[in-house]
Amino acid sequence: MKTILILNGPNLNLLGTREPAVYGSETLADVEALCRAEAARHGATADCRQSNHEGQLVDWIHEAGRNYAAGTLLGVVLNAGAYTHTSVALHDAIKGTNVPVIELHISNVHAREPFRHHSFLSPAARAVMAGFGVAGYALAIAGLVRISEAPKPGV
Ligand code: DQA
């Protein structure tokens, strides 16, 4: 059974109480339960982690790269929060490890403040999901499974 790594970055531990009009009322625990259920539907296991620290996220992507190379990991669903818009280190980690990463945002970042319109991750990500609320995590997991079964988009 393969693993899917779900990484949530800074402030996502506050889901449920953080700006509910933007991010909804479900907690991180709810999101992680949703991810585990969706992964199980695809015969996979969700390994869910959250950190407010950029270097920790970098380390986890390196670990994901090793597990992907070993054939035990399908890929990563990454909501890097605000680091999306600032982190060259996360861009380099994704590029340097070759692990398939689905960049995820709960909100539609392109309909928000201009500083959220640029992502350092998108050029390194395999795909991007934004604006579906927390349901996006399940959609991203399904998309990651699909991509791993049909390596070329549209196939
Ligand atoms: C977010 C969008 C980011 O701009 C923001 O900094 C977050 C959450 C989202 O899930 O919509 O922390 O990634």
- Each residue's pLDDT tens digit, 60-114: 999 999 999 999 999 999 999 999 999 999 999 999 999 999 999 999 999 999 9
Q: Which atom of ligand 1 is nearest to the CA of 116?
A: 4
CB 75 within 8 A of CB 101: yes
The answer to whether the CB of 126 falls within 8 A of the CB of 108 is no
Residue nearest atom 7 in ligand 1 by C-alpha distance: 81
Q: How far apart, in whole angstroms, are the C-alpha atoms of residue 147 and residue 117?
A: 25
Taking CA atoms, 151 is separated from 30, 78, 147, in Å, by 30, 19, 5
Place of tokens 């909100």: 107
What is the pLDDT confidence band of residue 154, given thresholds at 50, 70 and 90?
low
In which band, very low, low, confident or very high, does the pLDDT at 12 lie, cut at 50, 70 and 90?
A: very high
**Residue closest to 11 by CA, chosen among 52, 57, 53:** 52
Q: Which residues line ligand 1 (CB under 6 A)?
A: 11, 79, 81-82, 84, 105-107, 109, 116
Residues forming the active site = 23, 105
pLDDT tens, residue by residue, 25-48: 999 999 999 999 999 999 999 999
Tell me if 125 sits within 8 A of 101, measured CB to CB.
yes
pTM metric for this prediction: 0.96
The closest alpha carbon to 75, from 55, 89, 91, 94, belongs to: 94
Phi, psi of 67 (to 5 degrees): -70, -35
Q: How far is it, in rounded angstroms, from Cα 12 to Cα 65?
A: 23
